Every structure is written in structure tokens, then in C-alpha cells.
Amino acid sequence: SEIREHLLALLIEHADQFVSGEEISRQLGCTRTAIWKHIDELRKAGYEIEARPKAGYCLRYQPDRIAPEEIKALLSTRRFGHAIHYVESVDSTQWLAHQGVRSGAKEGALFLADEQTQGRGRMGRKWHSPPRSGIWMSLLLQPQIPLNLAPQLTLMASVGVTRAIRRETGLPVTIKWPNDLLIDGKKVCGILTELRGEQDQIHYVVLGIGMNVNTPAASFPEDLKTIATSLAAESGRTYRRAKLIAAILEELEHVYDLYLTEGFEPIRHSWESFACMLGQSVTAHTPQGPRQGIARGLHASGALLLETDEGVVVPVYSADIRQV
């Protein structure tokens, strides 16, 4: 309920401090009895709230929940994440978002779940999304840009998410073209952009972000153990997902606004500063076959610039990149 959301926001704001019952009822405009009822519900949801006569209530422990009120209490964006659609389990949050558009969702609407049973990657691949250990979310964007610029959105998103992880964890995340986020060569986050458009105009874009947060290294399935990692596995501590989500939304809104006002150039620079293979020999596995070369940078179109053995720089639009 709205009152419970307010109450929780108030307690989070004063975490580890007591807030008096009087103060709470003044701010929420409800009775002491009503507060007690809401406190009881929060406790049932896993919050530890200490109550002391005269002193009031004090939040001692928050479970790692990603319900809307958890995220909103931490959010300072202007539009991203103001509408949040949360479910415990879903086949894919991408699907939730496409559904959401049909029922009138607006730019910045966020769709997220604690678990995905059929999380998807690019080109029909699967995305492992076990319950509560990661962030599985989809953000709705409606940029007024021509269709052919859409690949820039994925690159923009990888810059925003990289900034958010670095800011919240200090971990050395890098970007592998086009949009894999790696720590020490292992994938910690994947980004999937799906768009709907007609003629030359984008109708909307669903930006899907999958991030391994508290997944223990040993719990990845066999085929992912050598290629995947999580923030917790890299740092030896756990993270509050709601805090990370708020940071991601903030950084994304910032980089998106920058993109809409100043174009791709500033994004291109940031992307290159986070990229992990520039100056190195790579093989680009393109739909037309493999190509060898040195990764040189990002073209204004979003393509990867590859310098071939003959010294010619060619743009690569679609490929899996491997280091040689």
C-alpha cells in the first residue's frame, strides 16, 4: 500500500536510527494503530524493525528485496523507474515490457523479476536467471531517433551500466564489444535491446539487463562456470540489488539524456575508455565468416573498427569477438 511504501521509505532514510511514532503519524497522516499494523506487515516480509517505548521504530535489517518501494526509496531520477512493475517469477522481463507497452506503459517504465524461467540472450541464446541472486530487468525507452541509429542505444546502455557498477562496487568492469560487461574476462552482465518500429521510426525499445549480483561462483551451471562471474564472486561481499538498480537507473537516465542532447560522440568516448580489447588482436566471427585484426575503436555508427593485416580499417557490424 502507499502508506506502507512511505513508512518504509522513512525508516530506510533513518536506518539504524529511531523515528518516533509521533513523527511517523505526522508525516504519513495516519494513526498509531495503523502504523503498528504496517510495521507488522513489514516484519512478515522479512524486515527487522526494533520498537522501543518513547523512542519509536528503528530499521535494523532489510532483506534483499527488489519490490518497487525498495527501489523508489533510493531513486533520484526524473523519469526512469517511476513506474515499476515487479513480479516474483516470469518467463522473461522482456515479455513483461512488451505486454506493458500494450497496456499504456510510458518511457522509463521498469519491468523486473526475482527470477526468469526463460531469460533470453541475443540471437536466441539463453540467459541463466536464478531466483533472487541477480538483477533481471527491462527498461522501456521511446527515443525519437531514426531506426538505423538503434545500435547506438545498446552501446549507450553498456556505458551507463558500467558506470553504475563501478560506482557502487569499485570493481574493474570493462566492456567487450558490443555489450558484454566483463570482470577479469568473465561475463558479469549482458544487455539485450529489442525494438519495434515501422518505416524509419522507432516505436519503442526494450532494454534488457541481466546482471549476476550475489550468485556464488560454485552455483553457476557447468557450461557457465569458466565464462561467467558475479559481483559477489569477484569481491567477496554481497550487494543490495535495490541499491544497484537505483544506481543503474540514475546512470542510464544521465547517459540517455546526454545522448539525446549531444549525440553519440560523448558516449563513443566513454565507451572506448571502458573497452577491454582495444589495441589487441582479435577474431571477429561475423555471419560472413571469421575476420582477423586489431580492434581499434568504435565507429560513429556503433560498429567496431578492425584493422586488418593489410592495414585497412574496416567496420564490423555484427560479430562475436574473441581475443587471439
Give the x-and-dash track for 162-201 against ligand BTX (CB under 6 A): ------------------x------x--xxx---------
Q: Contact at 8 Å (CB) between 126 and 190?
A: no
Q: Does 160 bind ligand BTX (CB under 6 A)?
A: no
C-beta closer to ligand BTX: residue 59 or 275? 275
Q: Does 276 bind ligand BTX (CB under 6 A)?
A: no
Instruction: Write the DSSP string, 46-114.
Output: T-EEEEETTTEEEEEE------HHHHHTT---SSTTSSEEEEEEES-HHHHHHHHHHTT--TT-EEEEE
At its nearest, how many Å lie between ligand BTX and the CB of residue 264?
21
C-beta closer to ligand BTX: residue 21 or 178? 178
Q: Contact at 8 Å (CB) between 247 and 76?
A: no
C-beta closer to ligand BTX: residue 228 or 246? 228
Contacts to ligand BTX from residues 115-144, by CB under 6 A: 116, 119-122, 125-129, 136-138
Contacts of residue 239, defined as CB under 8 A and 6 or more positions apart, other chains included, come to 168, 169, 213, 214, 231, 232
At its nearest, how many Å lie between ligand BTX and the CB of residue 6?
29
Among 4, 21, 42, 94, the residue binding ligand BTX under the rule CB under 6 A is: 94
- Residue whose cell numbers read 570493462: 174
Can you tell me the distance from the alpha carbon of 60 to that of 11, in angstroms, rounded to the nearest whole number? Answer: 9
Among 62, 174, 212, 270, the residue binding ligand BTX under the rule CB under 6 A is: 212
Task: Please work out the total of residues on this chain that contact ligand BTX, with binding judged by CB under 6 A.
Answer: 27
C-beta closer to ligand BTX: residue 137 or 298? 137
Instruction: Write the DSSP string, 269-280.
Output: HHHHHHBS-TTS
Q: Contact at 8 Å (CB) between 33 and 205?
A: no
At its nearest, how many Å lie between ligand BTX and the CB of residue 60?
32
In order of 16, 114, 153, the CA distances from 80 in angstroms are 29, 19, 15
Q: Which positions touch ligand BTX (CB under 6 A)?
A: 92-94, 116, 119-122, 125-129, 136-138, 180, 187, 190-192, 208-210, 212, 224, 228
